[in-house]
Amino acid sequence: MLTKSLKTTLNQNLVLRNLSVRGFSVKEYDLAVIGGGPGGYVAAIKGGQMGLKTVCIEKRGSLGGTCLNVDCIPSKALLHSTHKFHDAQANFKSIGIETGPVTMNFDKLMQSKTKAVTGLTGGIEFLFKKNKVDYMKGWGKFSGPNSVAVDMNDGSKDEIKAKNVIIATGSEPSSLPAGMLDIDEEYVVTSTGALELKKIPKKMVIVGAGVIGLEMGSVYSRLGTEVTVVQHVDRICPFLDNEISDAFMKILKKQGIKFQLNSRLTGGTNNKEKGVVVELETPKGKENLDADVVLLSIGRRPFTEGLQVEKAGLEINKFGRIDIGKNW
């Protein structure tokens, strides 16, 4: 014989199951996109335009991903403004434009960068509404092949079902082995921290001469920072043609950037406001460089943390990427 409380529980479960079957508790979609960066938000908008019932799940709290929030757009905003500053200081006079001393208000420079970012990220929310894409602010993780659990940013939990799921969770900066020179985003920074510095550093060491390191190096050298770029091979941007990378290095040298090629970082000490010392192995032997800020721009790696891909029957391969077998 059933006890009264057990009967109540069973009835409640039956009601819940019926509600679920009728779609009251778990929202169902044709397409769920995890990640609201350029990969994810464009796919979500396209889904909406094609008539698919679409949701995009993004944990950052604003759309546009790494690119719009903390990388391409803010770095291009700073490159643009500092280019104008440099032009006014170095080139105006030669074409007859005479000014008084040209100075930089660093706080205003950073504010204008932030304004460029918020204008664009807000625009994507508008496009979501226009194309009937639902937007969930939270951390998405697979709870099954066709279901995604979402830890909402407001602390609540939700779950959706989707016929198709697009993973567009992007990448994160690579770091050095633990303890070698740990990132604090204040004195030892990635590009994200370099875009948020509170003041112009006197000296900056940039480890890695790829596009990200060099564009941040350009920004700060134009602002008067003494910039040294450390590169482990014999040229910058090794993925470019030799001729182009040589010409590029000449331009950057003319701008005042110093290069330490064939040099490898072996360690360092972060003394915070007293400066950071980096230890190098160079063709001439061991050498130390000191700086107010060290930027580590040594590449990026796939970001799949907490995604629980195994619940969707997927695997992460030895490169940290989701294994998609022969389909690439």
Under the binding rule (CB under 6 A), the answer on residue 302 touching ligand FAD is: no
Residue 273 DSSP symbol: G
Return the exposure string of 168-204: e unless at least 16 CB atoms fall within 10 Å of the residue's CB, then b. Answer: bbbbebebbeeeebebeeebbbbbbbbbebeebbebb
3-state SS, residue 291: strand
Instruction: Work out how close the CB of 74 gets to ligand FAD at its nearest, in angstroms, rounded to a whole number.
Output: 8
Q: Does 210 bind ligand FAD (CB under 6 A)?
A: no
And the tokens for 323?
A: 């294994």
> Which one among 29, 31, 32, 36 touches ligand FAD, defined by CB under 6 A?
36
Q: Could you tell me the smallest distance in angstroms from the CB atom of residue 282 to ligand FAD?
A: 26
Query: Which of 160, 168, 189, 205 contacts ligand FAD by CB under 6 A?
Result: 168
Nearest Cα residue to 87 out of 76, 99, 77: 99
Q: Is position 66 an interface residue for ligand FAD (rule: CB under 6 A)?
A: yes
Residue 61 C-beta: closest distance to ligand FAD, Å: 9
Q: Which residues pair with 226 in a beta bridge?
A: 203
Does 59 contact ligand FAD by CB under 6 A?
yes
Is residue 67 a contact residue for ligand FAD (CB under 6 A)?
A: yes
Q: Binding residue for ligand FAD (CB under 6 A) from 35, 47, 48, 208?
A: 35
* Closer by beta carbon to ligand FAD, 140 or else 280: 140
Which two structure tokens, joined as six digits, stand for 138? Answer: 């939270």
Q: Residue 57, interface with ligand FAD (CB under 6 A)? A: yes
Tell me, what amino acid is at 246? D
| Helix 211-222 and helix 72-90, axial crossing angle in degrees, nearest 10 | 40
Among 48, 54, 110, 170, binds ligand FAD (CB under 6 A): 170
